[in-house]
């Protein structure tokens, strides 16, 4: 039964002197609280919650000295809290919320040292909050929202470690909130929204290990969102809307178990982190009214529990990701006020729960057919786009006003302000479109295939005939934009998104010409992006280096030279897109003790050989020849297998054979050749010197400055002696590795000897990179040895058989003897020509040429004779088939090997070896 008034019971209640519990909540009691209740001095618990009591709180409440809990919330009480409340020394819970109480909180309330729960919300209180409200150190719950409090947060709350919930929203509180709270280990919920707090969001919030809700919206906070906030690992609700926050959305926030993230109406910049896909519990995402840019991440489609998402009033570009169609439970989506383009994804029709959609103020186009099945949609705004065609026959468009449809390209439908649609013309138009597509599509595919074929042929021809100066000029054209890759999918937006507008978190290196960033593309491919430095009043200098690097890397392809995937040259910024090499530069590897130990002698020897091969290719196989001019440990990069790649061609120079090559000094001190101090002439010997420094640095483990100084001051005889002093060499090797033993020790000593020769002060006395590569030549492959043994042994056996067996009508040809004699004579002369200069690679090419010529002389006459006589009499068909199969197999092996090495330097000579092996049969 419900009691309507306390009046009839006043006398009875006043006589209950031993009453300890009074609970008459959830009734419809009216009138004031009887003053006689305050005579019940044994009362421990009073609950008059949710009635219609009026009047003020009795001043004689001080008589209830044993009272521990007082609930008079959700009534119609007026007046102020009496100061005598301070005499309730045992009170633990005071619930005053949901009344019409006013005035200031009495200062005596700070005397309640046992207080654990104080509820003041939803009244008309004014003045300051009680500053010593947690003086007893037991306060757990404190709510004072929806009042008119002013001033700062109570000082006693800063270190009130017992606090669990604090709600002070919708007041007029002020003050710097940066350090208003210490680290409160038990705090679970805090709401400070709709006040006038200022300052910054403290990183200490990340130390609140029990915090699940942090709400400070609609204040005057500034600064960035601290990444340390991710340390609050239980945080589920984060409201920071309507402040003045700047900077990026920290990636680390995506590791939190948030279901509500509201950061709208701030000044946040950058991209939405892709890692947001990991926030699988997220239901509310509000990022609207900021300065976010880039593409809308397709990863948002993985937030399958999302109910409400707002990305409006930003600068998002590109298409609407079709992946958003996977958000089956989404009810509200706001993408208005951006720079989105393209059509509505067909997957939008899968948003069966969507009720409200705003796409206004974008550059979207196409028809609205994707909305046909969205029957739950009740509110739509597609104004200020480029949409056309009829409105879908669903409720949202039936109820739409012209304001939600205005300023589109060509919409039609039964809405005041739009043109009505012609159904017949629409059907005939669609029918005609299908006919046109049936005719055009096959023709288009045919033309496209022919075009691709023609492009491939013309591209191949252009690669060998295009004038290099014209290429360089075209690269320097202002506002040019070019980007390409082998799979054809690399685009400018991918680079900007992957590096987050070249954020420092992706920075992996800084050089003289630019900064290098690591970028992970949507396809999963990892690339290195070298962004040119922006130098005031010096753009042309950087652009010249940038252009030079593009020209060099587009002209050359080699296994040991970094691959260029694409470039962008623009008045605002320029960058190169190259292959990413996992182990970084040699300099970094040598400086790190752990990496240096992993960089063992076998790897170091191979790296030196790799660099030598690259320089040999540039100096002797490119036309015109290319001088790098900045060979150093920072410009040699290592992949995951420790294969070396020469990089940074910004200072490279194409040597003109018809004129002198003079230029200003470039390079790295400590690696540059000494003659560059007094001459501006550039030739290959400058790279040879730098190679020598690099080789010694790899062996010694640090820059060999002291060794070089002693070498430059040595006489030639001393230099030779030092190269032969093996014990001295071993003393200078990198002490972080065990001393090399045979066979690798022999190669280490050989490299040291070659490096010292490269460091000769006189450029003319230094070896060429052809000689260096010859000295460091990789041992003959097993298949080469096999073919050599095969040819010599079988030929020798055949000659022996000719000598002991009956030859029949066969005679020794004088022409053959003459040809063989000339071949041996040429080989001998070339050998003695190569001997003084150690030109073994040149001699190898001569021998390969002799092999090809000899085989051609043998087989071509026989083949011609067979055609003339229309017979193959005298040939063993079985032997021919075996020869052909073996040759094709070896040819395939050579093609694969040359493709892997990105160099065909040994390919043509190996063909000679195959033919010679056939000759042996």
Active site residues: 630
DSSP secondary structure code for residue 704 in this structure = -
- Enclosing H/E stretch for 222: strand 220-222
Burial of 896 per CB tally in 10 Å (0-12, 13-18, 19+): exposed
CA contacts within 13 A on the Cβ side of 197: 29
Rounded CA gap, 12 and 48, in Å? Answer: 17
- Burial letters 467-490, b for 16+ CB under 10 A, else e: eeeeeeeebbeeeeeeeebeeeeb
d(CA 423, CA 412): 11
DSSP letters spanning 748-771 = HHHHHHHHHHHT-SSGGGSPPHHH
Number of CB atoms found within 10 A of residue 319's CB: 15
Q: Which of 658, 657, 659, 653 is nearest to 682 (CA)?
A: 653
d(CA 755, CA 696): 6
Pairing mode, if any, of strands 189-191 and 165-167?
parallel
- Chain-centre distance for alpha carbon 305: 26
Say if residues 568 and 481 touch (Cβ distance below 8 Å): yes
**Nearest CA to 8 among 38, 30, 26, 39?**
30
**The pair of three-digit structure tokens given for residue 764, joined into one six-digit string:** 């003319």
| Dist CA 513 CA 70 (whole Å) | 74
First CA to last CA distance, the chain: 118
Query: In what helix (H) or strand (E) does residue 52 lie, and over which residues does it extend?
Result: strand 52-53
Note the maximum CA span of the chain.
151
Distance CA 313, CA 92 (A): 48
Using the structure block, give the residue that is written with the tokens 């005071």: 94
> How far, in Å, are 282, 448, 613, 663, 675 from residue 764 at the CA level?
71, 56, 21, 19, 11
Contact 173, 153 (CB under 8 A): yes
Angle at 82 between CA 77 and CA 88, to 5 degrees: 110
Matching residue, tokens 């300052």: 199
Structure tokens given for 309: 């998402």
Q: How far is CA 590 from CA 509, 604, 608, 637, 643, in A?
A: 16, 11, 14, 12, 15
Cα 626 to Cα 686: distance, rounded to the nearest angstrom: 12
Query: Of 582, 466, 609, whose CA–CA distance to 528 is shortest?
Result: 582
């Amino acid at each position: 039964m419900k009691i309507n008034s306390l009046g009839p019971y006043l006398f009875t209640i006043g006589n209950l002197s031993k009453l300890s519990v009074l609970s008459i909540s959830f009734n419809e009691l009216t009138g004031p609280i009887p003053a006689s209740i305050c005579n019940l001095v044994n009362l421990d618990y009073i609950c008059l919650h949710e009635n219609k009591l009026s009047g003020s709180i009795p001043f004689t409440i001080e008589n209830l000295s044993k009272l521990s809990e007082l609930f008079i919330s959700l009534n119609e009480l007026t007046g102020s809290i009496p100061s005598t409340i301070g005499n309730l020394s045992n009170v633990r819970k005071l619930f005053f919320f949901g009344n019409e109480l006013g005035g200031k909180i009495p200062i005596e309330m700070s005397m309640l040292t046992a207080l654990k729960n104080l509820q003041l919300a939803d009244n008309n209180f004014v003045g300051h909050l009680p500053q010593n409200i947690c003086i007893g150190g037991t306060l757990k719950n404190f709510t004072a929202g929806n009042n008119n409090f002013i001033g700062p947060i109570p000082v006693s709350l800063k270190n009130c470690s017992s606090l669990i919930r604090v709600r002070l929203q919708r007041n007029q509180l002020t003050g710097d909130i940066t350090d208003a709270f210490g680290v409160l280990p038990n705090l679970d919920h805090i709401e400070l929204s709709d006040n006038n707090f200022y300052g910054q969001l403290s990183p200490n919030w990340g130390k609140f290990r029990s915090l699940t809700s942090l709400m400070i919206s609609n204040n005057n906070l500034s600064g960035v969102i601290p990444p340390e906030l991710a340390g609050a690992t239980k945080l589920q609700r984060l409201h920071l809307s309507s402040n003045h926050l700047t900077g990026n959305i920290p990636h680390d926030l995506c590791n939190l178990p948030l279901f509500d993230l509201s950061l709208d109406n701030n000044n946040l910049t950058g991209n939405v982190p892709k890692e947001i896909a990991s926030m699988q519990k997220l239901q509310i995402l509000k990022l609207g009214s900021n300065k976010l840019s880039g593409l809308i991440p397709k990863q948002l489609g993985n937030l399958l529990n999302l109910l409400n998402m707002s990305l409006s009033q930003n600068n998002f570009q590109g298409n609407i990701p079709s992946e958003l169609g996977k958000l089956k439970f989404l009810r509200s989506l706001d993408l208005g006020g951006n720079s989105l383009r393209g059509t509505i994804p067909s997957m939008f029709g899968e948003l069966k729960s969507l009720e409200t959609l705003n796409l206004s103020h974008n550059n979207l186009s196409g028809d609205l057919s994707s909305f046909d099945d969205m029957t739950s949609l009740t509110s739509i705004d597609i104004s200020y786009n480029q949409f056309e065609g009829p409105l879908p026959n669903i409720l949202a468009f039936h109820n739409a006003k012209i304001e939600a449809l205005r300023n589109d390209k060509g919409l039609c439908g039964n809405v005041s302000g739009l043109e009505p649609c012609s159904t017949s013309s629409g059907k005939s138009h669609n029918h005609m479109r299908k006919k046109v597509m049936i005719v055009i599509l096959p023709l288009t595919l045919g033309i496209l295939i022919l075009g691709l074929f023609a492009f491939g042929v013309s591209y191949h021809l252009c690669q060998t005939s295009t004038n290099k100066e014209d290429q360089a000029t075209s690269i320097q054209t202002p506002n040019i934009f070019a980007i390409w890759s082998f799979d054809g999918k690399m685009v400018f937006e991918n680079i900007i998104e992957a590096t987050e507008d070249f954020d420092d978190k992706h920075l992996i290196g800084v050089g003289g010409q630019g900064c290098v960033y690591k970028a992970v593309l949507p396809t999963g491919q990892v690339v290195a992006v070298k962004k040119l430095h922006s130098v005031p009043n010096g753009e042309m200098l950087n652009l010249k280096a940038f252009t030079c690097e593009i020209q060099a890397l587009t002209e050359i392809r080699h296994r040991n030279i970094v691959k260029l995937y694409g470039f962008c040259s623009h008045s605002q910024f320029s960058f190169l897109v190259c292959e990413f090499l996992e182990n970084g530069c040699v300099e970094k590897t040598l400086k790190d003790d752990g990496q240096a130990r992993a960089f063992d002698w076998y790897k170091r020897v191979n790296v030196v050989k790799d660099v030598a091969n690259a320089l040999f290719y540039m100096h002797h196989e490119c036309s015109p020849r290319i001088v790098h001019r900045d060979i150093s440990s920072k410009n040699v990069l290592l992949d995951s297998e420790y294969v070396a790649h020469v990089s940074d061609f910004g200072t490279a120079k194409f040597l003109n054979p018809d004129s002198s090559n003079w230029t200003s000094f470039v390079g790295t001190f400590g690696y540059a050749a000494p003659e560059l101090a007094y001459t501006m002439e550039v030739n290959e010997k400058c790279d040879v010197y730098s190679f020598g420094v690099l080789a010694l640095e790899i062996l010694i483990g640090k820059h060999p400055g002291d060794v070089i100084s002693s070498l430059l001051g040595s006489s030639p005889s001393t230099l030779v002696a030092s190269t032969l002093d093996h014990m001295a060499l071993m003393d200078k090797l990198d002490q972080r590795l065990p001393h090399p033993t045979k066979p690798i020790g022999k190669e280490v000593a050989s490299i040291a000897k070659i490096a010292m020769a490269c460091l000769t002060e006189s450029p003319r006395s230094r070896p060429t990179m052809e000689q260096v590569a010859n000295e460091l030549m990789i041992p003959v492959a097993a298949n080469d040895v096999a073919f050599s043994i095969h040819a010599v042994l079988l030929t020798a056996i055949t000659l022996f058989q000719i000598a002991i067996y009956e030859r029949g009508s066969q005679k020794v040809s004088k022409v053959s003897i003459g040809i063989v004699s000339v071949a041996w004579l040429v080989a001998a002369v070339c050998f003695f020509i190569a001997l003084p200069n150690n030109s073994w690679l040149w001699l190898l090419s001569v021998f390969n040429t002799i092999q090809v010529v000899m085989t051609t002389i043998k087989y071509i006459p026989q083949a011609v004779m067979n055609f003339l006589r229309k017979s193959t009499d005298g040939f063993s068909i079985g032997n021919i088939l075996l020869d052909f199969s073996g040759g094709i197999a070896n040819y395939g092996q050579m093609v694969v090997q040359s493709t892997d090495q990105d160099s065909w330097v040994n390919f043509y000579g190996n063909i000679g070896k195959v033919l010679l092996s056939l000759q042996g049969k």
